[in-house]
Chains A and B, each alone.
Chain A
Amino acid sequence: MSVDETTTAARSEALAHVAHKPGAAKNDPILKADHVVRRFGGMTAVDVDHLEVQEGVITALIGPNGAGKTTLFNLLTGFDTPNTGEWSFQGHSLSGKSGAAVAKAGVVRTFQLTKALGRLTVLQNMLLASPNNPGEKLGLSWLPFLWKRHEAEATEKAMEILARFKLDAKAADYAGSLSGGQRKLLEMARALMTDPTMIMLDEPMAGVNPALVQSLLGHVQALRDEGMTVLFVEHDMHAVRHISDWVVVMAEGRIVAEGPPSTVMKDQAVVDAYLGAHHDTDLGDDALLDPEVLARLEAEEEKR
């Protein structure tokens, strides 16, 4: 048995006995959230009673537009403040912590609306993410001999990661000159520069060309195999199906289903969430993955 198969086996073992229901308890939860509620005016964007994310696996967070996925990301990573709720990472509470503190704790996120730093070069974007750079302290900043070595090492690492994302040729270009898809890639590459324990990706594949999506998915799996925990939001069901070990489904702010990708799509709650109006439509296996079914549903939707 190869190492890879062992880890795969260990992973399925870890999730094998987890109940297929919202808020299911995991064997080794790295992230735990309770009673997280966020209201915008009278509208409840997020109302998550309980969520656990298993360590060392890829968890997909899916749900229709406006389900509250991004808002939940913002809350968990300190970019938004909930009305109520607490959550912890590796047993340490992260509720109320700032975005920077969450990142320092090892949870790094990317944004659905990419945030490439336009007037910095691609390489500078990467170097900025390097943690514990002594040159980032004002007192040491004017003494290059104190940080030159860290810079050199970080540059080497950055170029390695950029090569993985096919951005190495662009290292000297301004990030502002990148295309939308390249920015997505840069943001993910930049997040990896921080050596996160857990990475949270908000629609990392949106706008990336299909050939590159394939290799990106491979990278994400590789990250998991190195021990990183991945939580990602994605609308592309093929991608979800392809790489995730576990799927969490949100709708209208709540978690409505959890389970392995092969079965969760068939869950009645998921079907309802996605297709609210089409209760009567027969959805076979993998119906949500089938373009024909989706096209038919769309047509029905238009007729109504």
Chain B
Amino acid sequence: MDEFLRILTQSLGEILAPTTAAMAIAAIGLNLHFGYTGLLNMGQAGFMLLGAYGFGITLTLGGPIWLAFLIAVAAGVMFALLLGMPTLQLRGDYLAIVTISAAEIVRWFGRSTLWQEWTGGASGLQGRYFKDPFHALSFLPEGRFALGPFEYINTGSDSWFTRIFAWGLVALLLLFVWLITRSPWGRVLKGIREDEDAVRALGKNVYSYKLQALVIGGAIGALGGVVYAIPTAISPDAMGGRTMTFFVWTILLLGGAATVFGPVLGSMIFFTAYMFMRTGMRTLSEDTALGNFISTTQVEFIGGMLVGITLMCLVIFRPQGILGNKKELAFNVR
């Protein structure tokens, strides 16, 4: 029982974890791409990794923190322009192919020895190189604080300050996305998602709208990467990999694409369930006869597999996600 409570607490701790916020941010960006505009960005992890590098490298080189954020966002914007300008004229599938490969290229450049001096190569950038300026922003007093079973230091990697900052940013981005998407501008995006030729025939410059959506969503994705890196480190394989992209997709589809709170709810549920599953299985594997069949090392693989299965089931059985509108589905059988 104690064991179970420990697992439960640890899982519920994920609800407010900084990485949960980071992935929610990445999903908010992807929501603008896919949920509102119908753009198939299969490389959100690439945006995240670039954002994290922009942030980390600027700070490592001694730049001020505002510049670090600015460069992270700029990296996302440039990447979006680079990928979008040649492909958004073409059919949607091309963007998917280009983004998935471009994200891989970013990861391979990151882990190569080419710019090791700055990127740290395959082992990435340790948090200690860029965390101090961020922690210096903290307005919290020294010490620890406990909220029920959740106790963290006030300022540090896995701290209250990191949480406040991360979720504050989530709230700000939600407000921003809500404001721009409920407008006529957002309506044009949704029109493009449904049928871009129809929108073109009404005199709208579809290409420009798609590019705007890609850039904003990409910049938000880059910020997600920054928030992800702050409590952990910048590791090209962990953050820039395809797994990361599919986690973001799962989160978005779980919560509900084209809904404002979908990405946040999706991220919270995803990480809580993911943690519960992994720690639960690990404990079972260590303490019970199950260990004979599933070793603790296999737990990670099974966890990843289950995420894949969840994504498949979601797409098949509830494509509108938790917050999605059921009425839309009644006719949307394509």
Residues of A within 8 A of B (CB): 77, 79, 98-101, 103-104, 108-111, 115-120, 124-125, 127-129, 131, 133, 135-138, 141-142, 144, 147, 151, 174, 176-177, 187, 190-191, 193-194
Contact = CB atoms under 8 A, between A and B. Distances in A.
B13 interface: no
Contacts of B179: 141-142
B331 interface: yes
B251 to A, nearest CB: 21
A128 B327 contact: no
B212 A128 contact: no
A177 B328 CA distance: 9
Contacts of A187: 198
Residue with the greatest number of chain A CB neighbours at <10 A, chosen from B176, B191, B206: B191
B180 A141 contact: yes
A90 B320 CA distance: 47
A176 B331 contact: yes
Given A100-B206, A120-B187, A138-B185, A177 B176 contact: no
Contacts of B185: 135-138, 141
Nearest to A131: B203
Contact of B183 (A119, A125, A141): A141
Interface in B96-138: none
A147 B184 contact: yes
A120 B190 contact: yes
Contacts of A135: 183-185
B203 A100 contact: yes
26 contacts: A77-B201, A100-B205, A100-B206, A103-B201, A111-B197, A115-B195, A115-B198, A117-B190, A117-B191, A118-B331, A119-B193, A124-B190, A128-B188, A128-B199, A136-B184, A136-B185, A138-B185, A138-B212, A142-B179, A144-B183, A147-B184, A151-B184, A174-B331, A176-B328, A190-B202, A194-B202
B203 A104 contact: yes
A108 B194 contact: no
Nearest to B181: A141
B276 to A, nearest CB: 34
B327 A174 contact: yes
Given A100-B206, A190-B202, A141 B194 contact: no
Contacts of B332: 118-119, 176
A136 B204 contact: yes
Interface in B171-223: 176, 179-180, 183-188, 190-191, 193-195, 197-206, 212
A118 B328 CA distance: 8
A147 B187 CA distance: 13
Nearest to A154: B184
Contacts of A108: 201-203
Interface string B230-256: 000000000000000000000000000
Interface residues of B, number: 31
B5 interface: no
Contacts of A193: 202
Contacts, number: 108
Closest 9 CB pairs of A and B: A103-B203, A135-B184, A141-B185, A115-B198, A141-B183, A142-B179, A117-B194, A99-B200, A176-B331
A103 B204 CA distance: 8
B16 to A, nearest CB: 28
A117 B183 contact: no
B328 A142 contact: no
B330 interface: yes
Given A118-B194, A190-B202, A141 B331 contact: no
Interface string B298-334: 0000000000000000000000000000011011100
Contacts of B194: 117-120
Nearest to B216: A138
A182 B328 CA distance: 18
A194 B184 contact: no
B95 to A, nearest CB: 19
B90 to A, nearest CB: 14
Contact of B191 (A77, A128, A174, A177): A128
A115 B201 CA distance: 10
Nearest to B175: A142
Nearest to B206: A100
B197 A115 contact: yes
Nearest to B176: A142
B259 to A, nearest CB: 12
Nearest to B213: A138
B235 to A, nearest CB: 34
